[in-house]
Amino acid sequence: MNEEKRRQLEQKKQVIHGEGRSAKQHDSGKLTAWERIRLLIDEDTFVETDMFLEHRCTYFGMDRKKQEGDGVITGYGKINGRPVCVYAQDFTVFGGSISEMNARKIAAIQKKALEMMVPIVALFDSGGARVQEGIQSLSGHGHIFYQNVQSSGKIPQISAIMGTCAGGASYSPALTDFVVMVDNTSNMFITGPKVVKAAIGQEVTMDELGGTLVHSELSGMADHVAGGDGECVSFIRQLLEYLPSNCQMMPGRQKNFAYTQRKLEEISDIIPESARHAYDMHRVIECLIDDGSAVEIKPKYAMNIITLFARIGGCPVGIVANQSAQKAGCIDIDAADKAARFVRICDNFNIPLLNLVDVSGFYPGKEQEQRGIIRHGAKMLFAYSEAEVLKITVIIRKAYGGAYLAMCSKELGADMVYAWPGAEMAVMSAHAAVDVLYRNADREEKERYYKEYQDQFLNPYEAAHMGYVDEVIEPSRTRAHVLRVLSNYWEILPHRKKNSHKNIPL
């Protein structure tokens, strides 16, 4: 190749990668698409695909406005040494809008990820459909959604909202396994402020419609909110460490891990003496897991239930735990959806489940019943019953009523059920039971019946006698018991799974 052609090729690549168009992105507190990919992918491993693709629209003078690459960079490389596919929308080209050809390029890398059976990471920064193309753009969206669903449950799909994700395009992140947003620069909504005002006369900002607060605390769409583009990319790299490359593999087990031994004794002092007093379940979790290994999912949404990835003895686990400090740990509609989705992700990707139970029931009230707590609570029952991964349940304190079952009892397929000495398993609390059984008794009689009910049911030994609990254990021995079960199951886990399922949005 002569020098002139080489220089021409290099100039074309620089233009495709946003050379000279970065100032506006940087002024908005954002990196360019190419900078994001370079930060995400291991150095010198990225292979770009469809680099010179252009749109073919001729409407509204678009035939005179073309840019090679057409506003999205696609390809594959390695993250932490493992193959991963990726695409990044380029907001500096037609506002990152999705065209027919642009979407075809994205669908092609989605297909390649499924062929390679490797994770795919999508970096969103787009104003939505390219209006000049009409139905051609909408058709492109459809191809992307279809590929999202074909890959669902087979390979991990991670979406990062690193700018605007508007209109129909926002359905693609909803079809993936994880959604990460960037504080102050990202938003996601179906209908923008101008259309909302024109349609119903309501004046709202983009943040009010779909900012990070909306999706991390109210809608539950965001699994994590990062402080900036760099932190967003770091979180994705960290999250991938807990996931296998596909549904046929096990997540990687770390040989080297740290654990502070004093936490074994600290765990015994966390639970208050009175069953009516709250505590922070995060403290219990921290005493069980390897130091610094927790990656919480949806930490600000439905905070009455905790979902997080961690490691115990180097083994990745998914932890579902009732949060006593929020709504007394009761399960409401949002908590049920959050937990059920997390359980199904863990089942998709062979991640063992550890369930820490302190639940006094489903959250009561007219609003919950009218919104369908029965249907939503059933999602947890379905998810746990369907899950074929290893399931370990530890009853920390209360386990009452249907919520006891919903937190993965033996009847729902728990492989091992442990209980702490102060655990209580019953249809309801002693006071509530006595009010039902002896509502006409006087105060003295009720006290006697209360003590009788408490002695009979509100201890773990009655459940252990009947085979509902495998062993009553000291709190300080919990980590050792869980680790022993994990170690024994680790080699056989890939062979015991018979069924697979897609990860339908809950």
Which residues carry out catalysis? 167-168, 402-403
The DSSP bridge pattern shows strands 305-312 and 295-297 to be antiparallel
Helix (H, G, I), strand (E, B) or coil at 338: helix
Residues 6+ apart with CB under 8 A from 59: 132, 133, 134
Q: Residue 185 has what DSSP assignment?
A: T
Q: Residue 362 has what DSSP assignment?
A: B
Cα atoms in the Cβ-side hemisphere of radius 13 Å centred on 44: 0
Helices (H), 28-84: 33-40
Sign for the CA dihedral angle at 444, 450, 453, 458 comes to negative
Look-up: residue for tokens 């002024």?
27
State how far the Cα of 369 lies from the Cα of 381, in Å rounded to an integer. 17
> What would you measure as the largest C-alpha separation in the chain, in angstroms?
102
Two tokens, residue 56? 């073919």
Radius of gyration of the chain (CA): 26
With CA atoms as reference, report the closest residue to 305 among 283, 286, 288, 282: 282
State how far the Cα of 282 lies from the Cα of 326, in Å rounded to an integer. 12
Look-up: residue for tokens 């995060």?
282
With CA atoms as reference, report the closest residue to 305 among 320, 291, 288, 290: 320
Helix (H, G, I), strand (E, B) or coil at 89: strand
Inter-helix orientation angle 135-151/100-116, to 10°: 10
